[in-house]
Structure formats: C-alpha cells, structure tokens
Amino acid sequence: MKKILSHILLLLFAISAFGQDIHFSQFNEAPLLMNPALTGFFDGSHRIGLNYKNQWSAIGNGYTTYALGYDATINKDNSQSGFLAIGMAVFNDVAGDLKFGTLTGQLNIAYHLKINDEQMLSAGIYGGFGQRSIDVGDMQWDNQYDGVSGHDASLASNETFAFESFSYMDFGFGMNWSMSHNSTNMSSNDGFKTNAGFSVSHVNQPNFEFLSNSDERLNMRITGHAKALIGLSGTNAAIVPMVLVQFQGSQKEILPGFMVRYTLREESKYTGFINDAYLSLGGLYRTSDAIIVNAMVELNDLALGLSYDVNVSRLSNATNGKGGFEVALRYIIKNPNGNRSFY
C-alpha cells in the first residue's frame, strides 16, 4: 500500500500531460490557438480577444484557464492578391490542489491569398514556448498519515524521486479556406459565409520531463474545424452551424454546434452613426462529455460570449452535472474603408 498514492498521482499526471490540450468550448473565440491560419481572418485591422474558463469547481480546485490573443493585418486594403497578418497568443491554466500549471506563448504569421471575389485561401505557422509546473509542497503521501489525526505534513514521505518544472519549444502550422457570398440587396438577407480549415500543433513533439530521465513526449494535435453563417431570406435571422474535431494521441474531441443569430439593429450604410447589434443563441455538444449552452451579444466592434458546460459523462456522478463556466470577450478595430466581403 505504500506506493498507492504515488501511483495514482503519476497516473493523473500522465492523463493531464499526454491527453488533450486544454480547450475552450467557445473555440471560435480563441482562433489563434485553434489554427494559426486564422490569424488576421476578421473584418478589421486589429483584433483583441480574452478568454476565461472555470471548469469542474464542484469537485475541488478544478481548472482555471485564461487566454489573451492579439492579431493585426498588414497592407490589407492596398493589395488585390492577398495580405499578411501577424499575431500573438498567451495561455495560462492552473488545476488542482497541487496547482498543476500550463503556461504557453506563441507568435503567429499567416498569409491570405484572394482566389477571386468570393474565395480566399490562408496558410499560417506558429512558434513559441510552453512551461509546465507543479507545487510539490502540497503533495500528500500515505506515509504522512499517522492513523489517528489524519495527514501530518511534518512526517517524512520517504519518496526519493522529485518532480521538476520544465519548459519546451513548440511549433505548428495550419490552413483555412473561406467563401463569402453577399446578399442580393441590403434587405434580402440571402447571403452566406463559410470557412473550413485544419491545423497541426506540436509538430516537434517536445519532451515532457516532469520526472528526471523521462523520455515521454507531447503528442501532436490535429484539428479540423468548419463554420458557416447562412442568412434566412426575408427575416432578420441567420443560422450558424459549426464543428470542431481534434485528435491527440489516443484522445479525441468532437464538438458540433448550432446557433441562431438575430439582427437587433442594422448599421447605417450611409452615415455610419448607427452601429449594428446582434444576439446569438444556441448550443454545442462535446460527444460523450458535455452539453454546452451558449449566448453572444455583438455591439458594433465589441462582442461578449457566455457559455456553460453541463457535464453528462460518468464524471457527472462527482460534478452533479456542473461542468464549466466560460467567458469570451472580443474587440475589433475596423478599417474605415475596409472590405467586409470575406467575414
């Protein structure tokens, strides 16, 4: 029985380290982390995105996750063939009583090639770093239980190995295709926009070295995604189907979703004094894991998204269905004379 707790700890670390990367339910609001080819893929010149998620707090200190992204387009309005975009993203996650931490930072660069008036093909790469850490001071071992009062941290654990924080370099690439067909006229609402892409993360499969002399590596993550915005002719609404599929080692994630986007107020096409406003409602389903309810409000350049994961897997016995609360905030600085056709 002496090594039971240490074996359990090692198993939990293995699941965390070599399973899937931490993810957001509102995956479209973390585009720089999903696919570097989406860098600069927006209507404007600058974009700032913030993400926050608190998951599985019902079973102790769950995951607390933050992300910050910024990207900008270069020479977008002065080129008929395409344009360049650059961006950066920072991600931080802390989980559990041992404060298992993940910190990453990356730089993205992408080029968007205009195939014709309606289609565009994008390619992007990223390079960055990652760091994993753990607070060994809060570890509890079976030798530290005295059989009377419970755990006594002053007792020796008699464990000889040590966990080590470590850093690594990380690289990846991706591609994205998009099409935009404008409405027939200002009030017809019969246009559509769509995009689909894929990315490969951790192509260098960096070493994971929580334990000395470890030869474990971070598995590559292959991501596929697609989204569409389809106007319902004669109404002020549009439907937004979407899907995310990810594979990493033996793990997989399939996340289809569907939202309805209502136009609350149209932007003035002539004076620009009236800003547009939209409300989106819907949900997603992470297969064999969670049902996600999602809402988003867009007021001109600012967007606020809220979502909640309702756990439906076997873990719900411990969480009582309480999965994770998530917030996404986006701000875009528009081009005064920009072309809105692609987004």
Report pLDDT digits (tens) over 92-117: 998 766 677 889 999 999 999 999 99
Query: Model confidence at 137, in pLDDT bands (50, 70, 90)?
Result: low
**Whole-prediction pTM value?**
0.85
The residue that leads in pLDDT, 337 or 172, is 172
Q: How far is CA 301 from CA 43, 260, 278, 282, 332, in A?
A: 10, 19, 11, 21, 5
The residue that leads in pLDDT, 267 or 305, is 305
At residue 335, the pLDDT reads: 67
Range of the domain at 63: 4-333
Q: Is the pLDDT score of 23 beyond 90?
A: no
What is 157-219 written as a DSSP string?
------B--EEEEEEEEEEEEEEEE--SSTTT---EEEEEEEEEE-TT--EE-SBTT--EEPP
Residue 340 located in a structural domain: no
Number of domains, the chain: 1
Q: What is the mean pLDDT of residues 283-298?
A: 94
Q: Is the pLDDT score of 318 beyond 80?
A: no
> What span, in angstroms and rounded, lies between the C-alpha atoms of 121 and 115?
7
Residue 197 located in a structural domain: yes
Tell me the percentage of the chain whose pLDDT exceeds 90: 55
> What span, in angstroms and rounded, lies between the C-alpha atoms of 139 and 12?
13
Query: Model confidence at 183, in pLDDT bands (50, 70, 90)?
Result: confident
Q: Is the pLDDT score of 254 beyond 90?
A: yes
Q: Is the pLDDT score of 186 beyond 80?
A: no
Q: Is the pLDDT score of 139 beyond 70?
A: no
Residue 343 located in a structural domain: no
* CATH number of the domain where residue 136 is located: 2.40.160.40
At residue 73, the pLDDT reads: 96
**Taking a C-beta distance cutoff of 8 angstroms, is the pair 207, 168 a contact?**
yes
The residue that leads in pLDDT, 146 or 124, is 124
> What span, in angstroms and rounded, lies between the C-alpha atoms of 42 and 65?
24
Instruction: Give me the sign of the Cα torsion angle 42, 259, 262, 236.
Output: positive
Mean pLDDT of the chain: 83
The residue that leads in pLDDT, 159 or 175, is 175
At residue 188, the pLDDT reads: 79
Residue 61 located in a structural domain: yes
Instruction: Give me the sign of the Cα torsion angle 110, 112, 113, 119.
Output: positive
Q: Is the pLDDT score of 272 beyond 70?
A: no
At residue 216, the pLDDT reads: 78
Lowest mean pLDDT among 4-8, 93-97, 333-337: 4-8
Q: What is the mean pLDDT of residues 322-333?
A: 90
- Structure tokens that stand for 329 in this block: 């905030």
Q: What is the mean pLDDT of residues 139-144?
A: 68
Query: Model confidence at 326, in pLDDT bands (50, 70, 90)?
Result: very high
Residue 339 located in a structural domain: no
The residue that leads in pLDDT, 49 or 133, is 49
Residue 80 located in a structural domain: yes
Query: Model confidence at 309, in pLDDT bands (50, 70, 90)?
Result: very high
State which H helix or E strand residue 305 sits in.
strand 302-311
Q: What is the mean pLDDT of residues 220-242?
A: 96
Q: Is the pLDDT score of 195 beyond 80?
A: yes
> What span, in angstroms and rounded, lies between the C-alpha atoms of 108 and 128?
9
Residue 204 located in a structural domain: yes
- Structure tokens that stand for 224 in this block: 């596929």
> What span, in angstroms and rounded, lies between the C-alpha atoms of 134 and 308?
28
At residue 271, the pLDDT reads: 44
Q: What is the mean pLDDT of residues 1-16?
A: 41
Residue 11 located in a structural domain: yes
Q: Is the pLDDT score of 18 beyond 50?
A: no
Instruction: Identify the DSSP state of 27.
Output: G
At residue 1, the pLDDT reads: 40
